[in-house]
Amino acid sequence: MHLTSEELVDIAEGTRSENSAPHLAGCHVCREQLVDLQSMLSAAKDVDVPEPSPLFWDHLSARVSAAVAMEDDSARRKGSRFLPDGLRVLVDALMSQLGGRAFQASVVLAAAVLLVVLVGGRRPAPAVTEAPVVATAEPRVDPWVVPAEDDASLTVVASLTDGQDLETVREAGLAPRGSAEHAVNQMSDSELRELRRLLNEELARSGA
């Protein structure tokens, strides 16, 4: 009885000795098959893979990393579908800036906008008065407007954005159309809470 394919493979690869298959010595067919197997194994092994440049490996890692980041970003966007439009605009703007100066700038800007809202408080709708508006020579004073030098939140913004030039801000994609600020101004309290949670999460993740 001839050797099975399994036995021939084992002998050809050397994991089984020829002595363990006495049939082989007297069988021309099996012997020929074994020689063919060994010859093809050797031919296949001789085919080498050209070695890529040593720089290639880091390049490959960077490509994978970028693709994974994009994947992550996409997953987050899907996850934020439930968010109101205004909040999603801001979150998307932040998420799209992952990496480098742009991300840093966007985090700083978003944090600044958030601080303005949270520290400064939101302006309630002005009360409707029944008294007729009378034009006067004196400048009108809005009780909700705090002089810039007295506003602590503006100081915080100034310190956070110090060193961020207009170019950086533009690269970050948040200004000048005021999309982030506009979005924040349109938010309800619950949306603001969600924004704060997302920003904290992002700041913690980026180690900022």
Smallest distance from another protein to CB 159, Å: 27
- The residues that touch another protein, with contacts defined as CB under 8 A, are 5-6, 8-10, 12, 36-37, 39-41, 43-52, 56-57, 60-61, 63-65, 67-68, 71, 205, 207
What is the residue-wise DSSP string for 38-89? HHHHHHHHT-PPPPPPHHHHHHHHHHHHHHHHHHHHHHHHHHTTTS-HHHHH
Of 13 and 165, which has the nearer Cβ to another protein? 13
Rounded CA-CA distance 144/156 in Å is: 19
Q: Cβ distance 9 to 37 under 8 Å?
A: yes
Smallest distance from another protein to CB 142, Å: 46
Angle at 88 between CA 87 and CA 92, to 5 degrees: 125
**What type of residue is 19?**
N
Tokens describing residue 13: 């690869």
Smallest distance from another protein to CB 154, Å: 34
Smallest distance from another protein to CB 55, Å: 12
Smallest distance from another protein to CB 166, Å: 31
Sign of CA dihedral 7, 12, 14, 17: positive
